[in-house]
């Protein structure tokens, strides 16, 4: 229990100590300075009469209630400047800028600043603005616009010169003074810039035009080059294409070509084979046919020649034989002919003798016969002549009787002739019977009678002629011969 109380008291004491320490121990942060006043400290390096202690960047023990601790910010501050001022040339300008400043890090600056601004840290920019506004007016009043624009070094130098020591008094340092803007209500700067701007614009336009020209030239040249390159490329491509096509065609043709070549080779070989075959065949034929044929022909020829020779020999022999035979025959015939001739001669002689004898005999006989016949003919003739003479006399005396007799003698022939007219009739129809028949005959016979009348007239006409032996050339021989043959 007691231990617990002791422990609690100790703990409380520790806590109280810690709390006390916390109250007494103050730490300065990097961006601040502690200004400690109250007890008489030995001052750190600032000599006499300072009366306060400055602590930066570390902790320090402070007696609460005895010492007062104030913080002075070392942070950056800025002040916007907007100052109406007149330049050296009397040109009104409004300068706008910014001042960036801070409390100096050395103890002197901190002490100066602490004395001036410790309770007015918020008002520091305002104060600085006032300081700078006045100084800036004086600075700008000593500069020309051209200087301000062109010679910034001079501006900053002037600013440093005017403000540096001023700020040093306040324990401040100026990190940066920036002039943002110089407003120019009279247009001085603008007009100042105008000739240059115009020149620049002119130069720019010239340069632009030149550049355009060059660019256009380059572009056109490039286009021409491109066209040329395109043309060359197309030409090359066409050439390559042609080569490709050619190669492809060659390749395409290579197959058929080689095939054709192979086929040609095959054909050549086949031709060779065929030739060899033909040659072989020829040789075989020579061997098989021609040689045998030749042999046969030779044989035949030889045989024929032999035969011919034989025949010739035979013929010669035969001729010789015939010749000899003919000679023999001739001899024989001559002999025979001679013999025959002699025989014929002898026979002819004999025959002639016989013929003559026969002829003579026959002639004698014929003569005798002829004589006899002549005698008989003479006698007959005479007799006939007598008869005719008698008939002629009779005719001369009585023609009618002669004619009648002639008629009577020839009547049967006449009737036959008349009946002959009917002989060709196959069927005859007589309308008036037997009477018609006889009438018909009578008419036919009458025709004969008529002929009789004609004969009579002929005779009458010829009766005037003195030669009774030569009546009509036709009738008398007929008349004369008929009785002879009848007799």
- The residues of the shown chain that bind another protein, judged by CB under 8 A, are 42, 44-47, 54, 104-109, 112, 153, 156-157, 160-161, 164-165, 168, 171, 173
The whole-angstrom separation of Cα 216 and Cα 320 is: 135
CB of 113 to another protein, least distance (A): 10
The whole-angstrom separation of Cα 228 and Cα 217 is: 16
CB of 217 to another protein, least distance (A): 47
CB of 75 to another protein, least distance (A): 15
Yes or no: say if 182 and 84 are a contact pair by the CB < 8 Å rule: no
The whole-angstrom separation of Cα 441 and Cα 343 is: 80
Strand, coil or helix: 49? coil
CB of 41 to another protein, least distance (A): 9
Strand, coil or helix: 306? helix
CB of 142 to another protein, least distance (A): 14
Nearest to 95 by CA among 110, 85, 103: 85
Under 8 Å CB-to-CB from 33, ≥6 apart: which residues? Answer: 54, 55, 56, 71, 72, 74, 103, 110, 114
Yes or no: say if 44 and 107 are a contact pair by the CB < 8 Å rule: yes
CB of 91 to another protein, least distance (A): 26
Residue 179's H or E segment, with its range, is strand 172-183
Yes or no: say if 186 and 92 are a contact pair by the CB < 8 Å rule: yes
CB of 61 to another protein, least distance (A): 13
CB of 87 to another protein, least distance (A): 21
The nearer residue to another protein, 81 or 177, going by C-beta atoms, is 177
CB of 164 to another protein, least distance (A): 5
The nearer residue to another protein, 160 or 353, going by C-beta atoms, is 160
Q: What are phi and psi of 284, to 5 degrees?
A: -65, -45
The CA dihedral of 271, 277, 278, 281, to the nearest 10 degrees, is: 180
The whole-angstrom separation of Cα 307 and Cα 314 is: 9
CB of 131 to another protein, least distance (A): 16
> Tokens 């098989």 identify what position?
288
Residue 237's H or E segment, with its range, is helix 188-285
> Tokens 């030995």 identify what position?
42
Helices 399-423 and 475-486, interaxial angle, to 10°? 90
Strand, coil or helix: 317? helix
Cα separations (Å) of 27 from 15, 56, 61, 85?
20, 8, 9, 46
Phi-psi group of 65: left, alpha or beta (phi > 0 → left; psi -120 to 50 → alpha; rest → beta): left
Under 8 Å CB-to-CB from 410, ≥6 apart: which residues? Answer: 482
Yes or no: say if 102 and 79 are a contact pair by the CB < 8 Å rule: no
Q: What are phi and psi of 27, to 5 degrees?
A: -120, 130
The nearer residue to another protein, 54 or 145, going by C-beta atoms, is 54
CB of 36 to another protein, least distance (A): 13
CB of 120 to another protein, least distance (A): 20
| Burial class for 214, CB neighbours closer than 10 Å (0-12, 13-18, 19+) | exposed
């Amino acid at each position: 229990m007691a231990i617990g109380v002791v422990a609690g008291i100790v703990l409380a004491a520790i806590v109280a100590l810690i709390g006390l320490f916390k109250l007494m121990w103050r730490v300065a942060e990097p961006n601040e300075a502690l200004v400690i006043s109250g007890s008489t400290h030995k001052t750190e390096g600032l000599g006499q009469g300072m009366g306060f202690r400055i602590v930066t960047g570390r902790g320090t023990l402070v007696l609460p209630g005895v010492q007062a601790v104030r913080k002075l910010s070392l942070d950056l501050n800025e002040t916007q400047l907007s100052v109406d001022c007149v330049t050296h040339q009397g040109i009104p300008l409004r300068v706008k800028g910014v001042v960036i400043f801070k409390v100096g890090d050395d103890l002197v600056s901190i002490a100066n600043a602490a004395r001036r601004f410790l309770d007015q840290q918020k008002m520091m920019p305002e104060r600085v603005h006032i300081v700078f506004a006045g100084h800036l007016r004086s600075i700008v009043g000593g500069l020309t616009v051209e200087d301000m624009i062109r010679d910034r070094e001079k501006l900053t130098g002037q600013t440093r010169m005017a403000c540096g020591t001023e700020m040093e008094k306040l324990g401040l340092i100026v990190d940066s003074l920036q002039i943002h803007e110089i407003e120019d209500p009279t247009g001085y700067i603008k007009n100042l810039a105008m000739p240059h701007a115009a020149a620049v614009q002119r130069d720019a336009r010239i340069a632009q035009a030149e550049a355009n020209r060059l660019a256009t030239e380059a572009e056109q040249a490039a286009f021409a080059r491109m066209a040329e390159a395109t043309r060359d490329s197309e030409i090359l491509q066409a050439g390559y294409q042609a080569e490709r096509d050619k190669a492809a065609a060659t390749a395409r043709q290579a197959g058929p070509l080689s095939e054709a070549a192979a086929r040609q080779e095959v054909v050549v070989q086949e031709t060779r084979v065929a030739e060899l075959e033909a040659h072989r065949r020829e040789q075989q034929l020579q061997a098989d046919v021609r040689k045998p044929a030749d042999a046969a022909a030779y044989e035949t020829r030889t045989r024929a020649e032999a035969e011919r020779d034989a025949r010739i020999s035979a013929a010669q022999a035969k001729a010789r034989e015939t010749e000899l035979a003919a000679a023999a025959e001739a001899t024989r015939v001559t002999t025979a002919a001679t013999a025959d001739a002699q025989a014929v001669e002898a026979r002819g002689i004999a025959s002639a003798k016989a013929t003559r004898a026969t002829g003579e005999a026959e002639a004698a006989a014929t003569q005798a016969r002829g004589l006899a016949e002549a005698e008989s003919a003479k006698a007959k003739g005479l007799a006939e002549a007598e008869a005719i003479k008698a008939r002629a006399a009779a005719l001369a005396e009585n023609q009618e009787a002669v004619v009648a007799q002639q008629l009577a003698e020839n009547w049967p022939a006449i009737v036959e002739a008349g009946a002959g007219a009917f002989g060709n009739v196959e069927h005859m129809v007589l309308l008036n019977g037997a009477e018609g028949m006889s009438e018909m005959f009578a008419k036919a016979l009458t025709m004969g009678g008529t002929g009789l009348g004609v004969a009579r007239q002929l005779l009458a006409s010829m009766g005037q002629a003195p030669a009774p032996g030569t009546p009509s050339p036709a009738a008398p021989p007929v008349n004369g011969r008929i009785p002879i043959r009848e007799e």
